[in-house]
Structure 1
Amino acid sequence: MDTWHLLLAAILLILLPFLVVFGAGDSRRRRLPPGPPSLPLIGSTVWLTNSLADAVPLLRRLIARHGPVVSLRVGSTRLLVFVADRRLAHAALVERGAALADRPSLTSTTLLGENDNLISRASYGATWRLLRRNLVSEMLHPSRVRLFSPARSWVRRVLIEKLRESGDSGAVVGTFQYAMFCLLVLMCFGERLDEPAVRAVAAAQRDALLYMSSKMAVFAFFPAITRHVFRRRLLTAHALRRRQKELFLPLINARRKFKKSHGGGVAGGEARKETTFEHSYVDTLLDIRLPDADSVNVGDRALTDDEMVNLCSEFLNAGTDTTSTALQWIMAELVKNPSIQSKLHDEINSKITTTTGADIDGEVTEEDTHNMPYLKAVILEGLRKHPPGHMVLPHKAAEEIEIGGYVIPKGTTVNFMVAEMGRDEKEWEKPMEFIPERFLAGGDGEGVDVTGSKGIRMMPFGVGRRICAGLNIAMLHLEYFVANMVREFEWKEVAGDEVDFAEKTEFTTVMAKPLRARLVPRRT
């Protein structure tokens, strides 16, 4: 037993003479979703043997026992509800979107002295709308996305070179992660950093991400006690945040200086360095003015350094970990299914640009991928079967609502089981098989809409008002890099080291046994 379970056991022994099943009568009276029995202070009894940070296997068991809507309690007051049915998800997130557009606050955020001024964490209101609108219009608008086409082409060359260098080792996951960080660091800070600098940023990001997602959930339980018992975790979290700040602030300040000297961040006036890009996410953050009731000029507060660092960290996490995870799963399926890989390679070769000079370095261009339906089907099938996040980010009920005939009280945290919907055997034929053809004409996934606006079949990016703002650029990156990797190499299993599709929960759901592949160059 680890320290957490020892602490719970000690509290349970102290309370044993007074314990009664908690909340059962309330559940019957108010028709709350079913779930395991609860105890005062602790909440659901399952926390005595399970961790909140790795709840997916537990939830699958509860859904199999109770149905598609289940509940858990954390402590005496916090109620968590989980929904695994696509129709109920559509009714809740799309038909009644405003009621679940808010986010629950995290105790760990408060303990770290941070605020929720992030797109992923901000309450549904003016600050969230401002931050999201800035991201969508200034970074994700098609005109802005096209600005970064040279960056994607550069990263493609980096990726292919690193894969060639991997030789017979077969290790590719680290290469995927490094390539995605090269791209997102450039987009974020407007500077093409050298390899040691990119790897330093990547290490700081992953260390913080994995620690926060695996070690901080304990503070959801009676924080007045756990903040002292697990004080070393808070100290470690603070140290990880300081490391991010040490790396990010010089880059932010350099961009501030560049923006000032180049009139808004667009190249002009004096020459810029070859490695300096004309636009970046930091440029847009420097222009933001947040509403601030404590300011003399309400609505005219610049972002603080800490807020800038956290927003940059959010931007990097959103575009690197999820994309590299999806790439790993998709390429693993292509390794395991050589006939599918061969069919995809045939489509790529038949569609690539053949005009003079366009194919000089073997690139499958972004324009080429627009006319590759089988490539799109492969990507969609990868996201259906292996969504990087098996649950979306949690929602909070802004008012009392009903889901599946159950009452969801105001303030309840509600989450949705993404993987269960994409693998539902009632909705998909042979859901645990990798069949891209299902997304072509006549397949059971033909015409599927990943935004879920008309109906949910799969929701790897979430749906409703808090849908992932980067959906389109994520699809672009997956299509572009998969197409280029398949054109450049034939991906084969390593003898004696076959692909294993067992899962492991980190920040995303990754392969428990990281993908290794033997890469055979297709072009000489």
Structure 2
Amino acid sequence: MALFSFSLIPISIIIFIFGYNIFQRLRFKLPPGPRPWPVVGNLYDIKPVRFRCFAEWAQAYGPIISVWFGSTLNVIVSNTELAKEVLKEHDQQLADRHRSRSAAKFSRDGKDLIWADYGPHYVKVRKVCTVELFSPKRLESLRPIREDEVTAMVQSLFKDCTNPDNLGKSLLVKKYLGAVAFNNITRLAFGKRFVNSEGVMDEQGVEFKAIVSNGLKLGASLAMAEHIPWLRWMFPLEEEAFAKHNARRDKLTRAIMEEHTQARKLGGAKQHFVDALLTLQDQYDLSEDTIIGLLWDMITAGMDTTAISVEWAMAELIKNPRVQQKAQEELDRVLGFERVMTESDFSSLPYLQCVTKEALRLHPPTPLMLPHRANANVKIGGYDIPKGSNVHVNVWAVARDPAVWKNPQEFRPERFLEEDVDMKGHDFRLLPFGAGRRVCPGAQLGINLVASMLGHLLHHFTWSPPQGIKPQEIDMSENPGLVTYMRTPLQALATPRLPSELYKRVPADI
């Protein structure tokens, strides 16, 4: 009898969840969408590349759809008007953040910026980022780091493509872009270049890489159980594994923080983010958890996204040699063949800026915006969004909407010469960095680095497909995931086009 009673528990839970979902659908006027299955919702119907799947469903059901992740309602919006409703008109009611169990563990229940709910803590750390960390003055003071890492990339590319053993061979572009992104973000955040001039990683760098890798592994280990609460007893959170990971991460971060604390006592403080946060700790009442969380927010948000954006841009430039040539003609006209580009040249390179915008339009690094959680019942597009629901903006679909973009699938930077479109959250047609209260505070930093990398790659080299491959044969499909890696990493031939002395790096000590 006891065994029979015990077996009724999961059945009762299933019936309760199923009944609750039906109640929600009857009580509220929810957006249309594919019919959910009992318990699992639409989880088994979602194709791996989610933003494409949701864009396809939007064609069938309309620009606002309901998708059930287990028992949780997720609303996806896919056009400019609805994105504006979500991110501007109802921004405050939709400014909370859904945290998975792994995100809650990594962020210590939202003590950072990315995973914090909207409230006093979020407003405080947001102010720290906007006013202190990503101010124009600080970004300018850290410009030598960005330019140093980009010139290091150019030097490495030149060395490899002129190596007699590599003549005629294509290069794995991602390798060079990833090195820039890794070294740049670790230097900006920690003041550390974990890799020496020979490409050898030091002990802290090895540990740092291992922590990043382990964090990704832990975060991906709970997908199904996250969405079906009654399954969690079968897939318990690995409390010990998360505790060990956080302890390992914190140990490394505290060691670096202590190094900077000692340097400040000796008068050696610089402008890196760790120095800024330690200096501002008392002024803003920042806990150690928050400082560590903010540093790792910068790392997770900035490490892959820049490299991803530039790889997609280079793929488009190789597929579109007309655009590549036009960008190079502008660079040659402004810079000539006797010096290299710096960020101060950006204002004189409007076409390069348009190439950057067009690449981010077609290939936003985070095509499905991190979920905004409703903290109150709200209406979007005439439909009810119940409190506790998650709302996603399909940035990829918005930027390809034929209602607002002419020939949206075409890579045509000239569209931004014809009309200036802001991409830092003020124009809801183009949202690679989000908008509203949760817009990315590091948007300008990301734009500067992408434009700088593209400018150097185009000024220093001519790019073409590998031998035997036509430009139109380059694989432009995406890997599944939160960020859009190319399914087939880009291979390309690089041919130097400047005097050899312009490929040398002079390390910047900052």
Q: For residue 115 of structure 2, what is the aligned residue in structure 1? A: 121
Give the TM-score normalised by structure 2: 0.85
Q: For residue 59 of structure 1, what is the aligned residue in structure 2? A: 54
The answer (yes or no) to whether the contact 2:76–2:392 under 8 Å persists in 1 is: yes
Aligned partners of 1:422 and 1:70: how far apart in 2?
Answer: 18
Q: Which amino acid counterpart does residue 255 of structure 1 have in structure 2?
A: H
Aligned partners of 1:108 and 1:209: how far apart in 2?
Answer: 9
Q: 1:459 to 1:18 in 2, by over 3 A?
A: closer
Q: 1:109 to 1:487 in 2, by over 3 A?
A: closer
Q: Secondary structure at the match of 1:47?
A: coil
Deviates more, 1:166-175 or 1:372-381: 166-175
How large is the Cα RMSD of the aligned pairs?
Answer: 2.9
Aligned partners of 2:287 and 2:17: how far apart in 1?
Answer: 48
Aligned partners of 2:494 and 2:52: how far apart in 1?
Answer: 34
Q: For residue 453 of structure 2, what is the aligned residue in structure 1? A: 481
Q: Which amino acid counterpart does residue 429 of structure 2 have in structure 1?
A: R
Q: Secondary structure at the match of 2:410?
A: coil
Matched, 1:286 2:278: yes
Q: For residue 361 of structure 2, what is the aligned residue in structure 1? A: 384
Matched, 1:226 2:232: yes
| Percent identity (aligned) | 29
Residue deviations 1:184-204 (CA, integer Å, cap 9, x gap)? 111111234434048536633
Q: Which amino acid counterpart does residue 259 of structure 1 have in structure 2?
A: R
Q: Secondary structure at the match of 1:188?
A: helix
What 5-or-longer segments of structure 1 have no aligned partner? 1-10, 267-277, 291-298
Superposition pairs for residues 244-323 of structure 1, below 5 Å? 244-262=249-267, 266=269, 278-289=270-281, 302-304=286-288, 306-323=289-306
Q: 1:135 to 1:252 in 2, by over 3 A?
A: same
Residue deviations 1:397-440 (CA, integer Å, cap 9, x gap)? 12211111101112221110000011112221221111111111
Q: For residue 324 of structure 2, what is the aligned residue in structure 1? A: 341
Tell me which of 296, 312, 329 is aligned to 1:329. 312
Tell me which of 145, 156, 166 is aligned to 2:139. 145
Q: For residue 5 of structure 1, what is the aligned residue in structure 2? A: none
- Displacement of 1:224: 6.1
Q: For residue 472 of structure 1, what is the aligned residue in structure 2? A: 444
Residue deviations 1:110-156 (CA, integer Å, cap 9, x gap)? 46682211111111112112212112222211111111122122112
Matched, 1:400 2:377: yes
Q: 1:300 to 1:385 in 2, by over 3 A?
A: closer
Q: For residue 464 of structure 2, what is the aligned residue in structure 1? A: 492
Aligned partners of 2:207 and 2:369: how far apart in 1?
Answer: 25
The answer (yes or no) to whether the contact 2:98–2:372 under 8 Å persists in 1 is: yes
The answer (yes or no) to whether the contact 1:211–1:237 under 8 Å persists in 2 is: no
Superposition pairs for residues 128-207 of structure 1, below 5 Å? 128-167=122-161, 168-195=169-196, 196-197=201-202, 200=206, 203-204=209-210, 206-207=212-213
Q: Secondary structure at the match of 1:310?
A: helix
Q: 1:109 to 1:510 in 2, by over 3 A?
A: closer
Q: Which amino acid counterpart does residue 457 of structure 1 have in structure 2?
A: R
Q: Secondary structure at the match of 1:345?
A: helix
- Displacement of 1:333: 0.8
- Displacement of 1:241: 3.9
- Displacement of 1:109: 3.6
Give the TM-score normalised by structure 1: 0.83
Q: 1:516 to 1:205 in 2, by over 3 A?
A: farther
Aligned partners of 2:13 and 2:274: how far apart in 1?
Answer: 52
- Displacement of 1:20: 6.5
The answer (yes or no) to whether the contact 1:209–1:507 under 8 Å persists in 2 is: no
Q: 1:414 to 1:344 in 2, by over 3 A?
A: same
- Displacement of 1:64: 2.2
Q: Which amino acid counterpart does residue 252 of structure 1 have in structure 2?
A: M
- Displacement of 1:381: 0.5
Q: Secondary structure at the match of 2:114?
A: coil
The answer (yes or no) to whether the contact 2:10–2:230 under 8 Å persists in 1 is: no
Aligned partners of 1:389 and 1:261: how far apart in 2?
Answer: 41
Aligned partners of 1:317 and 1:62: how far apart in 2?
Answer: 30
Aligned partners of 1:452 and 1:308: how far apart in 2?
Answer: 26
- Displacement of 1:81: 1.0
Q: Runs ≥4 in structure 1, deviation > 6 angstroms?
A: 11-22
Q: Secondary structure at the match of 2:479?
A: strand
The answer (yes or no) to whether the contact 1:326–1:386 under 8 Å persists in 2 is: yes
Aligned partners of 1:201 and 1:383: how far apart in 2?
Answer: 32
Aligned partners of 1:513 and 1:414: how far apart in 2?
Answer: 30
Q: 1:32 to 1:48 in 2, by over 3 A?
A: same
Q: For residue 63 of structure 2, what is the aligned residue in structure 1? A: 68
Q: 1:246 to 1:166 in 2, by over 3 A?
A: farther
Q: Secondary structure at the match of 1:436?
A: coil
Residue deviations 1:3-35 (CA, integer Å, cap 9, x gap)? xxxxxxxx9999999996763464244211123
The answer (yes or no) to whether the contact 1:392–1:462 under 8 Å persists in 2 is: yes
The answer (yes or no) to whether the contact 1:208–1:237 under 8 Å persists in 2 is: no
Residue deviations 1:295-338 (CA, integer Å, cap 9, x gap)? xxxx985523x544332221112222111100100011111111
The answer (yes or no) to whether the contact 1:351–1:371 under 8 Å persists in 2 is: yes
The answer (yes or no) to whether the contact 1:389–1:508 under 8 Å persists in 2 is: yes
- Displacement of 1:492: 0.9
The answer (yes or no) to whether the contact 2:172–2:492 under 8 Å persists in 1 is: yes
Deviates more, 1:217-226 or 1:466-475: 217-226
Aligned partners of 2:172 and 2:278: how far apart in 1?
Answer: 39
The answer (yes or no) to whether the contact 1:204–1:243 under 8 Å persists in 2 is: no
Aligned partners of 2:351 and 2:90: how far apart in 1?
Answer: 35
Q: Which amino acid counterpart does residue 331 of structure 1 have in structure 2?
A: M
Deviates more, 1:161-170 or 1:373-382: 161-170
Q: Which amino acid counterpart does residue 256 of structure 1 have in structure 2?
A: T
Matched, 1:365 2:342: yes
- Displacement of 1:456: 1.4
